[in-house]
A and B are shown apart, each in its own frame.
Chain A
């Protein structure tokens, strides 16, 4: 399948929907490509109730005339102005664009601890997504752990579905969460929401400076051991949702060659990246939550559609909100003691079952990949990369296509028409097979 757009948006979460809708008002051909079965991204994932903002943006998107490619996963950017995407059934698409808006969102950061690979131990957002996908949670005992504002939101949502929230454990100390709470006085809507979440789970233990040291069970989760200070105790449970805040999905921006600074995509006031005509909005530019993501999406959409005056007005509002990004990062800073959670036998790379002890003595991410296969499985280091960054200080380098596993037939169709990939090794670096010239 081939299609081309004046403006193509990658990612249909809050930022991507806002970008597509804002750009569409200018009457251009807009495409919105997204990996999930429905629009909304992760925070506004379909299934169960959605906040009013989410419903309004989804309704606007439906009325907008934007061409929606839902269930398509972008795996390559073979040349400027073109993305390649694949659908679950193996269908491949070549998507052309004049301007591109990257709204690729974020994922949870996972830290390995003994037993974290047991079935029913999931991310906090991961468990929430599974419940939205139909997993019955009523009367199930749930421990929500990790760090960040997502924990309370998830616990409150699961409670509404009848879960028995046994404990919510944030690794951050109480003093730091209190400071973050005080910072929220300037963001009354967020503060109100936090209080509502806390009220929704009253009766559940909310523990600070506390984390899971091990999950236990035979073929699936049966209990966890929690630690707070010097205290350590066992808690029976059916599900764990454990995530340590968020890391941005910057694989596609990095593949395109957008400048990345300290792990986030650099943008100007119009949300334009270091590549002219390529914009980025939402969490990949800094983890700031849904409100900021929507604002950034609107700015990117207006700027890409050639409406700089309107974009500039919103850019002023954005500047006032950027302080929250830093405050959130501080509140979620990881306790160094979490580095001692894995034992020698703990799997760090879940795809390739690489144990913690195996990774000792390697100096870089690349070295560990080559010697141990850490990060070489189908997730391509999306899970263990951020973990090893925290555990060993390794920086994940060298994003190469395909950025998601793709069928050989898709790669074949990608390479036939395009000649050598611009990111591929220089000619002569590897032996090549003679190619017939037409």
Chain B
């Protein structure tokens, strides 16, 4: 099977992208160039610990907020949105 056939298509902040199997949602968001969240005083933030402990990587996945994106693998058709940016 070709790499293209094995890649996973998802939406990040309304933009379609495709990633390799095994890619975390946090990695997809980083590749899309978006911060994962805004802090309580409005600073852009990205992942820190990479292991589900710091909660900096929280995003909304398929409408469910506060998902730790570094612990979740991308799945076909997933829709991800990050704080302060419109949902697709």
Task: Name B residues whose Cβ lies closer than 8 Å to a Cβ of A.
Answer: 19-20, 22-24, 26-28, 30-31, 35-36, 39-41, 43-56, 58, 64, 66-68, 70-73
Please indicate the chain B residues that have their CB under 8 angstroms from the CB of A119 in the complex. Answer: 30, 35-36, 44-46
A328, chain B: closest CB distance, angstroms: 20
Per CB-CB distance, the 10 closest pairs between chain A and chain B, nearest first, are A129-B50, A119-B46, A134-B23, A133-B24, A126-B50, A134-B27, A378-B55, A133-B27, A353-B41, A135-B27
**A130 and B30: CB pair below 8 A?**
yes
**Of A120, A123, A220, which one neighbours B50 at CB under 8 angstroms?**
A123
**A136 and B44: CB pair below 8 A?**
no
**B67 and A130: CB pair below 8 A?**
no
**A35 and B52: CB pair below 8 A?**
yes
**B70 and A352: CB pair below 8 A?**
no
**B55 and A379: CB pair below 8 A?**
yes
**A129 and B51: CB pair below 8 A?**
yes
Please indicate the chain A residues that have their CB under 8 angstroms from the CB of B52 in the complex. Answer: 35-36, 73
**A130 and B50: CB pair below 8 A?**
yes
**B19 and A134: CB pair below 8 A?**
yes
In angstroms, Cα B19 to Cα A136, docked, is 11
Task: Name A residues whose Cβ lies closer than 8 Å to a Cβ of B.
Answer: 35-37, 42, 46-47, 71, 73, 88-90, 107-108, 110, 117-123, 125-130, 133-136, 219-220, 249, 347, 350-353, 377-379, 382-383, 405
Given the interface pairs A134-B23, A350-B39, the reply to whether A42 lies near B51 with Cβ below 8 Å is: yes
Given the interface pairs A350-B39, A379-B53, the reply to whether A88 lies near B72 with Cβ below 8 Å is: yes
**B48 and A383: CB pair below 8 A?**
yes
Please indicate the chain A residues that have their CB under 8 angstroms from the CB of B64 in the complex. Answer: 89-90
In angstroms, Cα B48 to Cα A90, docked, is 24
Please indicate the chain A residues that have their CB under 8 angstroms from the CB of B40 in the complex. Answer: 351-353
Please indicate the chain B residues that have their CB under 8 angstroms from the CB of A377 in the complex. Answer: 55
In angstroms, Cα B51 to Cα A37, docked, is 10
In angstroms, Cα B70 to Cα A36, docked, is 9
B32, chain A: closest CB distance, angstroms: 11
In angstroms, Cα B52 to Cα A219, docked, is 23
In angstroms, Cα B66 to Cα A249, docked, is 22
Please indicate the chain B residues that have their CB under 8 angstroms from the CB of A219 in the complex. Answer: 35, 44
**Of B24, B46, B70, which one neighbours A220 at CB under 8 angstroms?**
B46
In angstroms, Cα B56 to Cα A351, docked, is 8
In angstroms, Cα B36 to Cα A402, docked, is 24
**A351 and B53: CB pair below 8 A?**
no
**Of A36, A117, A352, which one neighbours B43 at CB under 8 angstroms?**
A117
In angstroms, Cα B36 to Cα A130, docked, is 13
**B54 and A382: CB pair below 8 A?**
yes
Residue of A108, A129, A249 with highest tally of chain B CB at under 10 A: A129
Please indicate the chain A residues that have their CB under 8 angstroms from the CB of B26 in the complex. Answer: 130, 133
A130-B26, A133-B22, A220-B44 given; 4 more Cβ-contact pairs under 8 Å: A122-B50, A133-B24, A133-B70, A378-B66
In angstroms, Cα B28 to Cα A10, docked, is 29
**B72 and A37: CB pair below 8 A?**
yes
Residue of B23, B48, B66, B72 with highest tally of chain A CB at under 10 A: B48
Minimum CB distance partner of B42 in chain A: A353
**Of A89, A107, A130, A351, which one neighbours B27 at CB under 8 angstroms?**
A130
Q: Write 27 A-B pairs (CB below 8 A) sorted by A numbering.
A: A36-B52, A88-B72, A107-B49, A107-B53, A110-B48, A119-B36, A119-B44, A119-B46, A120-B46, A122-B48, A122-B50, A123-B50, A125-B50, A126-B50, A129-B49, A129-B51, A130-B30, A133-B70, A134-B28, A135-B27, A136-B31, A347-B43, A350-B54, A352-B40, A353-B41, A379-B55, A383-B54
